[in-house]
Amino acid sequence: MDGLNKSIYDIGSDTAFAILARSNELIKSGNKVINLGIGQPDFPTPNNIIEVAVKALKDGHHGYSSSNGILELREAVSQDFFNRNKVNVDPGDILITPGGKAVIFYTLLIFGQPGSEIIFPDPGFVAYKSMIDYTGATAVSLPHRMENNFSFDAQELLSLVNEKTRLIIFNSPANPTGGVVPKSEYIKLIKGLEKYPNVYILSDEIYSRILFDDNAHISLMSFPEIRDRVIVLDGWSKTYSMTGWRLGYGIFPKKIFNYAEKLAINCHSCVTTAVQLAGVEALKGTQEHVLKMIEEFNLRRNFLTENLNSIKNIKCIKPGGAFYVFPEIKKSNMSSKQISDHLLENMFLATVPGSAFGQNGEGFLRLSYASNMDNLKEAIECLKKFMNE
Ligand code: PLP
């Protein structure tokens, strides 16, 4: 079809959603599919959160709320952010959004235009590059390699920055690799960015609570040197098993908050009020479920890495966070997409090919361990069989 915005023809999509749709088709036609494709916790939303939402609806919270989010929720986010990062955030700088993804969308609409450059993690969450491309900006790939535990090299990142760079996208713990950026790289990056006062950073901290071993979350906003040019993205989807509720937030520098809010008004108006009230309960109520979930994820992570490494031609590092492993899989003459397709169509195991996350993802598969231990055991048997074929 001719005559549409020329950027729309090539806009990227998220392979994980396509794989979810295909898995559901296979299930409908009577197959048992083990789904390690989609990035959402397999635990239900905690009951205390659900109850608040139900009550809110019954109490008549059915109308629009303010476009930036109800004050009670923004205050709860500010308090939670302080508790976890020791950084004071003005609730007026917080924009409540329908999921964290909206923060990526709005930020890229603010910064992206032809002639500007935006650095993104590769492999990385698919929406980053899709939206950079859509705005006409140049997407500059920052490799995240297995030999660096899927973090980046700050020197390499700084070598990509120039006078056209407008934004750097940062994601730790990361999707699809589970990689966590070590403090040493933060320090080098912040020092190096002093020379580039006009470069902003979008810090996607959606997995900030899901960390293992002695990894502690470091928010990019906790560095005063760059604080006035950091946008933080976080939300409820992963931490509280609320992916389908669509609730997230962005903390924007005062200089650009107004633009983000105007985009929100022009797009989603406001987030469902009952969902926002549930979000308050999630932050202020018991955190018992979160801790239990992380404990369970840790067991699964250990199980998977150990067992994947025992399979011929698979190499898997133990990731520091999120709920993904990203093993390197070598099978002669097969791309990661062919491997992933084969596993789904013939063995009913859903994974996501590493190449879906950028050119540096080729040769890898993303396995989400947001699935129970029995499924993980079956998945390992399946991979063993496939690799020995
Ligand atoms: N950022 C990353 C790195 C993600 O992996 C995801 C979801 O998979 C999101 C943002 C979006 O989260 P939400 O479901 O809250 O929009």
> Are 91 and 74 spatial neighbours (Cβ–Cβ below 8 Å)?
yes
At 104, is the secondary structure helix, strand, or coil?
A: helix
89-98, 197-206, 332-341: the lowest-pLDDT one: 332-341
Q: What is the pTM of this model?
A: 0.96
Per-residue three-class SS string for 107-160 = HHHHHCCCCCEEEEEECCCHHHHHHHHHHCCEEEEEECCHHHCCCCCHHHHHHH
The angle formed by the CA atoms of residues 240, 241 and 246, to the nearest 5 degrees, is 95
Q: Kindly report, residue by residue over 297-327, the tens digit of the pLDDT.
A: 999 999 999 999 999 999 999 999 999 999 9
Q: How confident is the model at residue 247 (pLDDT cuts 50, 70, 90)?
A: very high
> Are 278 and 96 spatial neighbours (Cβ–Cβ below 8 Å)?
no
Q: Kindly report, residue by residue over 13-61, the tens digit of the pLDDT.
A: 888 888 989 999 999 999 999 999 988 899 999 999 999 999 999 999 9
Q: Which amino acid is residue 209, in one-letter code?
A: R
Burial of 363 (0-12, 13-18, 19+ CB in 10 A): middle
pLDDT of residue 389: 84
Q: Kindly report, residue by residue over 126-172, the tens digit of the pLDDT.
A: 999 999 999 999 999 999 999 999 999 999 999 999 999 999 999 99
Q: Cα(355) to centroid of ligand 1, in Å?
A: 18
39 lines ligand 1 (CB under 6 A): yes
- Is the pLDDT score of 208 beyond 90? yes
CB count within 10 Å of CB 206 equals: 27
pLDDT of residue 38: 85
pLDDT of residue 294: 97
289 lines ligand 1 (CB under 6 A): no
- Between CA 185 and CA 183 the distance in angstroms is 5
* Tokens 């992916």, located at residue: 243
Q: Which amino acid is residue 247, in one-letter code?
A: L
Q: Cα(100) to centroid of ligand 1, in Å?
A: 6
- Between CA 106 and CA 261 the distance in angstroms is 9
Q: Cα(1) to centroid of ligand 1, in Å?
A: 31
| Distance in Å from the first CA to the final CA of the chain | 44
